[in-house]
């Protein structure tokens, strides 16, 4: 592939991808990621930001092509991708790839499902497209990771790699659904690069705009591929060119080998980490370490201070400004707080896979007992954790007790990754816990059965049909309530 530009090499890989050639680990992983993503989307309907997006999508009109979760009628595919992409990322419960440090499924899965439902695509084609999109997304993300600096260059520039790289990977994936050839796939990537965006200042100082990022990326992906199918073209040197993607976003700092080496033979897809907890992934090891302290008999009332050691690059996300992280104003802000993660672990979670959505509410974020614990937590750089990062997001938690003793727990491998994977039952349990918040058990079971047999479906839309009646009920209830508030 080295005789081509980077975009052309990616397009060649995508055009040649065949379901029959995919490793079993890849197809199994894709099915699980579709199930995981749909469950998160369904659960996210209850958020105020989700309702705003659902209402927006419902009011836009247009061709009835695909389902947007929560909307009672079909909408244009790009709008369906937008709505579902927003929901998929809104709970911070979506999967993570390392070392690209991005969340690929929240953009790729909604984009492909929308395009596939519109086209009446079979399950094998959809699985292939999702696998290709995930692979392209994370490899572009890895190309922007600086090993020497120990962080994503995207992140250093204030950019949200999840949505930026997601738009590119998803555009290629939608191109696969549309049956585009190499030239068209190159252009789909090239056009999407001019539509990729996302800044992450909201992680620091508030605002829920980050929830929109994967939705806009998915909308851009479907739009870009659709326009290319109608004759719009993009530059073949869009990635490495003098005025290309990597120059524009990363000032030319990128590793082309991360894209090219093993492309098509060594798959990253099965290495993507599932999230067991609905919070920023940097906080997960803190939850597990605090949980381990609790299981060893450490009572939070007997603790004088807590020191959370983490990789140096993650402190700005979960430990700064420390006063703000000790006083999250909302459940959403608590998802990005290292001190809150420690409090959750010490007190014990109430659902999901040990810690669930009900543990991240506005009320609990302000609960006096949790704030008392958070006041005791300092977040510091730990050398061992920094060396391991970004292949894991580790944590070392030390509790100094009032009797003068100290207890330490080290969590150096994340639950949900290849070295500590979730079982098939745990992935399905997470889906059932999420989807069961809005769907009856019969619908939950039907969706799970169809998605886990996605390869066998002649029409991807069949997997989503169980959502229709519930979407109409949810939307009707919400609309009536809003009208009553006027």
User: Residue 97 gets which letter from DSSP?
Assistant: B
- Write down the pLDDT at residue 475: 53
Which ranges of the chain have pLDDT less than 70? Answer: 1-2, 469-486
Residue 203 is predicted with a pLDDT of 76
pLDDT at 466: 76
Q: Which helix (H) or strand (E) holds 450?
A: helix 441-451
Structure tokens at 425: 């039952």
List CB contacts of 251: < 8 A, sequence separation 6 or more: none
pLDDT for 478: 54
End-to-end CA separation in angstroms for the chain: 60
Alpha-carbon Rg of the chain, whole angstroms?
A: 22
Res 483: pLDDT: 38
Residues 420, 413 contacting (CB under 8 angstroms): yes
Distance in angstroms (rounded) separating the CA atoms of residues 166 and 161: 8
Q: Give, as one character, the DSSP assignment of residue 146.
A: E
Q: Hey, what are 361's tokens?
A: 């509410």
- Residues 431/39, Cβ–Cβ less than 8 Å: yes
> If you search the block for the tokens 């990005």, which residue do you land on?
336
Q: Which pLDDT value is given to residue 205?
A: 79
Residue 3 is predicted with a pLDDT of 82
358 phi/psi in degrees, rounded to 5? -70, -10
């Amino acid at each position: 592939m080295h005789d081509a530009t980077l975009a052309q090499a990616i397009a060649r890989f995508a055009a040649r991808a065949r379901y029959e050639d995919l490793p079993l680990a890849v197809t199994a992983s894709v099915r699980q990621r579709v199930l995981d993503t749909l469950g998160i989307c369904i659960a996210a309907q209850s958020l105020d930001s989700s309702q705003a997006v659902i209402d927006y999508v419902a009011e836009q009109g247009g061709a009835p092509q695909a389902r947007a979760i929560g909307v009672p009628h079909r909408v244009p595919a790009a709008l369906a991708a937008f709505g579902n992409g927003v929901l998929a990322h809104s709970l911070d419960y979506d999967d993570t790839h390392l070392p690209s440090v991005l969340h690929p499924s929240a953009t790729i899965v909604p984009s492909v499902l929308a395009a596939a439902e519109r086209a009446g695509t079979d399950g094998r084609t959809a699985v292939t497209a999702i696998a290709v999109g995930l692979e392209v997304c994370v490899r572009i993300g890895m190309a922007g990771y600086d090993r020497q600096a120990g962080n994503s260059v995207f992140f250093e520039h204030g950019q949200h790699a999840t949505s930026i790289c997601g738009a590119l990977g998803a555009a290629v994936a939608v191109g696969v659904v549309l049956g585009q050839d190499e030239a068209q796939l190159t252009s789909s990537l090239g056009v999407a690069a001019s539509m990729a965006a996302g800044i992450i200042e909201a992680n620091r100082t508030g605002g829920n705009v980050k929830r929109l990022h994967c939705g806009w990326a998915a909308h851009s992906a479907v739009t870009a591929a659709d326009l290319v199918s109608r004759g719009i073209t993009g530059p073949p040197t869009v990635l490495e060119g003098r005025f290309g993607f990597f120059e524009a976003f990363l000032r030319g700092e990128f590793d082309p080998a991360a894209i090219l080496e093993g492309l098509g033979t060594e798959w990253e897809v099965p290495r993507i980490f599932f999230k067991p907890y609905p919070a920023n992934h940097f906080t997960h090891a803190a939850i597990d370490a605090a949980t381990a302290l609790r299981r060893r008999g450490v009572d939070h009332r007997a603790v004088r201070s807590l020191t959370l050691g983490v990789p140096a690059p993650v402190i700005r996300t979960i430990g700064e400004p420390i006063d703000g992280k000790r006083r999250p104003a909302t459940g959403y802000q608590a998802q990005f707080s290292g001190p809150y993660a420690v409090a959750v672990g010490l007190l014990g979670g109430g659902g999901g896979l040990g810690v669930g959505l009900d543990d991240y509410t506005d009320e609990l974020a302000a609960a006096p007992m949790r704030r008392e614990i958070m006041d005791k937590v300092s977040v510091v750089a730990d050398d061992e954790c920094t060396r391991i990062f970004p292949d894991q997001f580790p944590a070392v938690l030390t509790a100094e007790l009032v009797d003068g003793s100290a207890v330490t727990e080290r969590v150096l491998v994340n639950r949900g990754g290849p070295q500590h994977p979730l079982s098939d039952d745990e992935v399905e349990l997470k889906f059932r816990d999420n989807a069961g918040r809005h769907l009856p058990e019969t619908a939950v079971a039907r969706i799970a059965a169809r998605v886990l047999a996605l390869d066998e479906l002649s029409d991807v839309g069949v997997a989503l049909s169980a959502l229709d009646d519930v979407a109409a009920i949810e939307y009707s209830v919400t609309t009536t309530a809003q009208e009553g508030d006027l």
